[in-house]
A and B are shown apart, each in its own frame.
Chain A
Amino acid sequence: MKKVLVAFSILLSFAASAQTDKFAAAMQKNLDALEAAKTPADLQGVSASFERIAEAEKTQWLPYYYAALAQERIGFSDKDADKDKIGDKANQLLDKAEAIEKNAELYCLRNMAATIQMLVDPQSRWQTYGQQAQAALQSGMQLEPNNPRLYYLQGMSVFGTPEAFGGGKEKAKPIFQKAVDLYASFTPKPMYPNWGSKEAADMLAKCE
């Protein structure tokens, strides 16, 4: 009988670790898929997969984060996408992630969601969505002043603003420089966000 109990407990612990492994494996598989995604349909599929993982796990913010990130990549890359719908979807996912943990990475995605919605009609929307995007970066900087992605996104926003409205290459350059410096000393945890380094370096080159 003792043996049975031992066997069962081994089996159970095996099952438990299998569960964590299963999470890690599923995440890795989808991270690879996110990396490889080319079309909006691919991204939609990856986003849905991450969302399923998130809904099943309930205590992990990362799958929500990636589900939202995949949505936002559609918003930036697909010209025909309904940008308001994507912004809403991303924000729904981020609400759930923030209920688990509030951090700068999530604020980065809040910034991107607001930016996508602003781009629908920048002239009339920058006062609302532009403010939201800016506020998200500020909140992120208060939590993690050394997160490089915040500065990369800040740089993108300044770069995209016409010179006459306080933007332009000159103004964006020191911000991208700061992002590149921070990326150099940034070591991500496994599965944690680790994007933007190359893009920041490319943008810095564009500002020269």
Chain B
Amino acid sequence: MRSLLFFCCFILSAAVHAQTVVSGVIRDHRNKPLPGASITLKDTYDGAVSDSTGAFHFTTTEKGNLVCSITCMGFKTIEQPVSLTGTAITLNISLKEQLDELRAVTVTAGAFSTGARKGAVMSSLDVATTAGSNADITAALKTLPGTQQVGEQEGLFVRGGAGYETKQFIDGTMVNNFYNTSVPDIAQRGRFSPFLFKGTVFSTGGYSALYGQALSSVLLLESIDVPEKSEIDLSVSPLFWGVSTQQVAKDKKSSWGINYSYVNVGLYFKLVKQTPDYYSMPRYHNVEGNFRIKTKRGGIIKYYTTFGYNELGLRRPDIDSLYLKNAFGLTNHNWYNNLSYKEYLNNGWKLNMGVGYSTNRDDISQQIQDASNQPKQFDNSAFWMQYKNFRFVNRQDLTQTKIVLEKKLGGLSALRFGTDYWYSYNNGYYNDTLRKLDDHYNALYAESDIFLTNDLAATVGARYEHSSIIGKSDIAPRASLAYKTGKNAQVSVAYGEFYQKPENMQLYYTRQLGFTRAAHYIVNYLKMNNSRTLRVEAYYKKYHDLVKAVPVNYYYSTYDNSGTGYARGFELFWRDKKSVKNLDYWISYSYVDTKRNYLNYTTELQPNYAATHTASVVLKRFFTSIKCGFNFTYTYATGRPYYNFMLNNGKYNLADQGKTKDYNTLNFSMEYVPSIGKANAKSNIVLFASANNILGNKLIYGYNYSYSGLIKQPITPPANRGYFIGCFISWGVDRTDDVINNNL
């Protein structure tokens, strides 16, 4: 018996004393030594951490068959069975890299993303504080490379593409009337405030197969989720006033909001002389509503609606006569709705759904008036004057659905596929002639992100589209590849085919048209950390099947797809928030060589909206001591070409051409935020003031020609300088500080 006890004690002490030495070297997937990896005998305290040479060493008193696990952040854990007998064990192990969203390369060719997420170039606040933008998204984006400084028309003119070649999407669905209705020679603002959005992707080419019907560019806007806190906001300015509220449920799972604003520039136009004679001051009423609901599984349902009504009327001297005037009047109704649903499903599936409905009605009238503003009629002998008198009442409806399913395929790779259906209905009364269009547009698409390693990723996709009105289909392949060349640096390439339906104004005249087409080839280098971004991009774009006008007579043309064109160029972008303390600045430069033969062009010509060189410098500095921020934007562009095409014997000929003088503007804005620093401020006040073109440079966007071709008049902004002043107050209910103070 005693011997048994003794035996037990012996075993126990033997167990205590028999030590096993475990040592080895840990390496990464490239066979480089990996420091900081943790080696653990599972369920024991024993183990070690690899040193700077990847080596480790420890002793253990454990015995028997155990599992040794090797872990390191960013690498896949390895579990290695070991048999501990007292004999030294050597473990030389290579760890495989784990694909990691934060460290992995992202495909960036062609795209600028904004917002708080990775790869962001601008935030929503940047949009508001870019001098010259006056919180218009499009104006702020025009400080990025690839865009043209077009001031006589709304839209983003990207890389040799016209404004209508850029399409805007909110939460995945296309927006039909993103801008207020066009007024001749005056660019209109976008309808949507930058503060509606948490993120923006501005793609200047080579974009994803999830989007279509844009030859040049897409602007993808993602609306904000449930806000942090409830608030009431008030905006006051000599130009407008607005009131809104946002109510967040106690559990922060849902919210709703409404907003009303009224703009009337009458007072401003009295103070700041405008070149046109506004007989009806521009007035805008706008009502918005929204709700957002977070779902149990982490998804979200968002609804946004806006109803806008505006009217304006202006008169300018008529170019064809000395004493007559040309009066333009507009009344617009616009109702926009967007419902989106994002949900996480089982087994790594994700659903993105969107439904949109919008209707827009423009009532446009143009009238030639005499010196006492009375309408003037013409007969056939002055047909070029006769056709200046018209009324056009146009209605555009768009109903659409989008469904995208996404599946994670291990690591970061993913497969996405989906379908779009758009039903557009248009009817336009031109004087008393009714023209109707309706189109069923269907698209099917699939796209896959393939991560070969953390450093090499590809996105490959294709899009099938069919439009019933032209009875044509197309298949658009898209591909991009990104390779990480160093810490924070990467090279991407992208290729894609892009199709776009002809414009409605052309389809009103003929449906014997096909899709217009562009191929994009892009190479991009990006080096970016939190405070600095360097981006260099070069591209080549080839246009096919652009719409050409086939004149029938002075006022009537039909169209075909015989147009061609190209654009090639390179762009630089540099942003730096670090080198000068508290100063944030960016510099953009774009070079474009582009020509196209479209519409009434006689041959391949540089389009009248394209300047060869464009550069912008944006500076922002906030002084915390005086609670003021000052922002400057300087933009330079070389002159743009202008043409006068005259109809002669059923053919256009180039009667005159020239180049405008260079474009130069310096814009300034400042904000004063007195409530900064008041820990318990119940209200937040921002005073904002801006002045555009403070040096008063004469800006000329192009020239209009008289019917005879003998008179040309410069197209200029309605006023040389622009000013804005406003006060924004919000009363928020934020309980963060209360809790802390109650505990003090």
A residues with CB within 8 A of B: 3-4, 7-8, 11, 22, 26, 41, 44-45, 48-49, 51-53, 55-56, 84-85, 88-89, 120-121, 123-124, 127-128, 131, 134-135, 137-138, 141-142, 145, 154, 162-166, 171, 174-175, 178
Contact = CB atoms under 8 A, between A and B. Distances in A.
B12 A165 contact: no
B1 interface: yes
Contacts of A49: 45, 47
A156 to B, nearest CB: 13
B678 A166 contact: yes
B624 A120 contact: no
A127 B624 contact: no
B600 to A, nearest CB: 48
Interface in B118-144: 120, 123
Interface in B636-675: none
Contacts of B40: 48, 51-52, 55
Residue of B120, B625, B677, B679 with most chain A CB atoms under a 10 A cut-off: B677
20 contacts: A4-B4, A11-B8, A41-B52, A44-B36, A44-B49, A45-B48, A51-B38, A51-B40, A52-B41, A52-B44, A56-B43, A121-B530, A121-B531, A134-B736, A135-B736, A141-B740, A154-B740, A165-B676, A175-B744, A178-B744
B102 interface: yes
Contacts of B74: 85
A32 B429 CA distance: 87
Interface in B1-39: 1, 4-5, 8, 12, 35-36, 38
B116 interface: yes
Given A55-B42, A56-B44, A174-B744, A138 B624 contact: no
Contacts of B123: 124
A128 B624 CA distance: 21
Given A4-B5, A137-B740, A45 B116 contact: no
Contacts of A137: 740
B48 A138 contact: no
A188 B42 CA distance: 31
B102 A56 contact: no
Contact of B743 (A3, A48, A135, A141): A141
Residue of A22, A49, A53, A142 with most chain B CB atoms under a 10 A cut-off: A49
Contacts of A175: 744
Contact of A48 (B49, B228, B530, B677): B49
Nearest to A142: B739
A80 B257 CA distance: 45
A55 B68 CA distance: 13
A72 B44 CA distance: 24
Interface of B: 1, 4-5, 8, 12, 35-36, 38, 40-49, 51-52, 73-74, 102, 116, 120, 123, 228, 530-531, 577, 624-625, 627, 676-679, 736, 739-740, 743-744
Closest 10 CB pairs of A and B: A164-B624, A121-B530, A166-B679, A48-B38, A48-B49, A164-B677, A138-B739, A45-B49, A52-B47, A52-B40
Given A7-B8, A11-B8, A131-B228, A48 B47 contact: yes
Contacts of A165: 624, 676-677
Given A48-B40, A120-B530, A127-B116, 6 more contacts: A52-B45, A85-B74, A124-B530, A128-B116, A137-B740, A145-B743
Contacts of A134: 736
A164 B740 contact: no
Contact of A26 (B35, B45, B51, B120): B45
Contacts of A141: 739-740, 743
B279 to A, nearest CB: 47
Given A45-B49, A88-B73, A141-B739, A164 B676 contact: yes
Name B's interface SS.
Answer: loop
B46 A52 contact: yes
B45 A56 contact: yes
Contacts of B678: 166
A84 B45 contact: no
A166 B102 CA distance: 32
Contacts of A128: 116
B624 A84 contact: no
Contacts of A121: 530-531
A128 B52 CA distance: 34
Nearest to B126: A124
Contacts of A53: 45
A89 B100 CA distance: 13
A131 B229 CA distance: 12
A26 B74 CA distance: 28
A134 B739 CA distance: 10
A27 B743 CA distance: 33
A145 to B, nearest CB: 6
Contacts of A178: 744
A48 B41 CA distance: 12
A161 to B, nearest CB: 9
B207 to A, nearest CB: 25
Nearest to B740: A154
A124 B739 contact: no
A25 B740 CA distance: 38
A164 B47 contact: no
Given A123-B577, A124-B123, A171 B679 contact: yes
Most buried by B among A52, A127, A141: A52
Contacts of B679: 166, 171
Contacts of B36: 41, 44
A175 B5 CA distance: 63
A84 B488 CA distance: 14
A154 B38 CA distance: 33
Contacts of A26: 45
A170 to B, nearest CB: 11
A171 B740 CA distance: 12
Contacts of A51: 38, 40
Contacts of B531: 121
A8 B116 CA distance: 64
A127 to B, nearest CB: 7
Nearest to A46: B49
A135 B530 CA distance: 24
Contacts of A3: 1, 5
A111 to B, nearest CB: 12
A55 B79 CA distance: 14
Contact of B677 (A135, A145, A166): A166
A138 B47 contact: no
A6 B1 CA distance: 12
Contacts of A127: 116
A89 B73 contact: yes
A123 B45 CA distance: 42
B48 A48 contact: yes
Nearest to B38: A48
Contacts of B51: 41
Nearest to B74: A85
A135 B737 CA distance: 10
A135 B677 CA distance: 20
Contacts of B12: 11
A170 B160 CA distance: 57
A137 to B, nearest CB: 7
Nearest to B120: A124
Contacts of A164: 624-625, 627, 676-677
A89 B75 CA distance: 13
Nearest to A25: B45
B744 A162 contact: no
A8 B49 CA distance: 38
Contacts of B41: 52
A32 to B, nearest CB: 15
Contacts of B743: 141, 145
A37 B416 CA distance: 49
